[in-house]
Amino acid sequence: MMTRKQRKALEDQAETPERSPLLSSARRVLLAGVGAVALAQDEAAEVVDRLVARGEIAEADGKKLIRDVLERRKKGAKKVEGELDKRVEDVLDRMNIPTKAEIAALGEKISELAKKIDDLKQQ
C-alpha cells in the first residue's frame, strides 16, 4: 500500500491530477457554495452602498468594509477547498481507490516490464 507522500509524488507527475468522479463532484458542490457566497457578497456591497448613500458611513469606510469581506471570502474558500480535498483523500485512502496518477504509474511500469520481456526474448 502506498503512503500519502508516495501518492502525492505520483500525482505531481501525472498530467491530469483529477482524482476521481467523487472529487470532481465535491469540487462542483464547493464551487456552488462559493457562488452562493459571491452572491451574498454582492448583496453586502449593495447594503454598504445604501449606507454610504444615506450618509450613515463614509465612502472610504464602505470600500474598506467591502475589501475586508472579499478578503475573508477568498481565505474562507481556500480553507474550505483544502479541507474538502483532505477529507476526500482520506475517504479514497480508506476505500483503497487508486488515483489516476497511480494508475498511470502502473501503466508505465507495465510498459517498461513488457519492453524488458521483449528484450529478454530477443537474446
Phi, psi of 99 (to 5 degrees): -90, 170
Q: Are 90 and 2 in contact (CB under 8 A)?
A: no
- CA dist 3 → 9, 40, 70, 90 (Å): 10, 40, 37, 12
- Tell whether the model's pLDDT for residue 14 goes beyond 90: no
The H-assigned helical ranges of 1-123 are 4-13, 21-54, 59-95, 100-122
Query: Which residues, 6 or more positions from 92, have their beta carbon under 8 angstroms from its beta carbon?
Result: 19, 20, 22, 23, 99
Q: Are 11 and 106 in contact (CB under 8 A)?
A: no
Domain boundaries, the chain: 21-97
In the chain the first and final C-alpha atoms are separated, in Å, by: 35
Lowest mean pLDDT among 12-16, 27-31, 52-56, 111-115: 12-16
pLDDT digits (tens, 9 = 90+) for 103-122: 999 999 999 999 999 999 99
